[in-house]
Chains A and B, each alone.
Chain A
Amino acid sequence: EAGVAQSPRYKIIEKRQSVAFWCNPISGHATLYWYQQILGQGPKLLIQFQNNGVVDDSQLPKDRFSAERLKGVDSTLKIQPAKLEDSAVYLCASSLGGVDTQYFGPGTRLTVL
């Protein structure tokens, strides 16, 4: 069974530029999550989708971050414009929903200079 796929794996940008990350969840998983992991900290939930609807985006900085899951499968997370403090690993996870385990992708490491 293929795992959660993410791309790119690494990205370096200048502050005030924009960047987008892509996630393809495990086939059949209805629930998709984006987390931000700053160095030395645990992952923090940014947004949760159930199919193509948003369940929780309370910790998403909506002035600069946006995310979509238009067809209820893959998802894109965008930052525009980026700030230095956005440097982090962005993790995507998926689950069947209900009590199922969340499966994490390898992450995208973003460096903002």
Chain B
Amino acid sequence: GDSVTQMEGPVTLSEEAFLTINCTYTATGYPSLFWYVQYPGEGLQLLLKATKADDKGSNKGFEATYRKETTSFHLEKGSVQVSDSAVYFCALSPKGGGADGLTFGKGTHLIIQP
């Protein structure tokens, strides 16, 4: 079945460091890919998405590119802030478009130290 694998956490970085959180997926067909973020004490929020190969999703300085050849959707940010501390989830929608139930990875806890 469909699955998402993302790097284990916690990931601890200093402020202004470069961030990469790896995400790879297994799916049949052409899924849509998502990154969701959960800030402390808050619900899940969509951070960015990409619906087809080579699409780049971006938001709040974060970027991720849908790579079909490597089945990956790695999350990157050039300079992290303390306020980026949160749990990040990579997810896919099997049939594309996001109308289906999402399949999530286990989440990566990111800690940014001042």
A104 contacts partner chain B, Cβ-Cβ < 8 Å: yes
Query: Assuming A43-B102, A100-B98, A106-B42, what are 16 further A-B pairs, CB within 8 angstroms?
Result: A3-B43, A4-B43, A31-B99, A40-B106, A40-B107, A42-B89, A91-B44, A98-B99, A99-B98, A99-B99, A102-B46, A104-B43, A104-B44, A105-B43, A106-B43, A107-B43
Asked if A97 meets B99 with Cβ closer than 8 Å, knowing A42-B107, A106-B43, the reply is: yes
- Give the residue among B42, B45, B91, B99 with the most A Cβ atoms within 10 A: B99
Over the window 49-68 of chain B, the binary record of Cβ atoms lying under 8 Å from chain A Cβ atoms (1 yes, 0 no) is: 10100000000000000000
List, sorted by A's number, 30 A–B pairs whose CB atoms are closer than 8 Å.
A3-B43, A33-B101, A35-B101, A40-B106, A40-B107, A41-B106, A42-B4, A42-B107, A43-B44, A43-B89, A45-B102, A48-B100, A48-B101, A56-B100, A56-B101, A91-B44, A95-B98, A98-B97, A98-B99, A99-B32, A99-B51, A99-B99, A102-B46, A102-B102, A103-B46, A104-B36, A104-B44, A104-B45, A105-B43, A106-B42
Chain B 87-114 residues near chain A, CB threshold 8 A: 89, 91, 97-107
Residue of A nearest to B89 (CB): A42
Count of A-B residue pairs with CB < 8 Å: 59
Classify chain A: how many residues form its interface, as a range: 20 to 34
Residue of A nearest to B103 (CB): A45
Which residues in B have some Cβ–Cβ distance to A below 8 Å?
4, 32, 36, 42-46, 49, 51, 89, 91, 97-107
| Chain A to chain B: the 8 pairs with minimum beta-carbon distance, closest first | A42-B104, A45-B101, A104-B44, A99-B97, A106-B43, A104-B43, A101-B46, A48-B101
- Give the residue among B32, B43, B100, B104 with the most A Cβ atoms within 10 A: B43
A residues less than 8 Å from B32 (CB atoms)? 99
A56 to chain B, nearest CB (A): 6
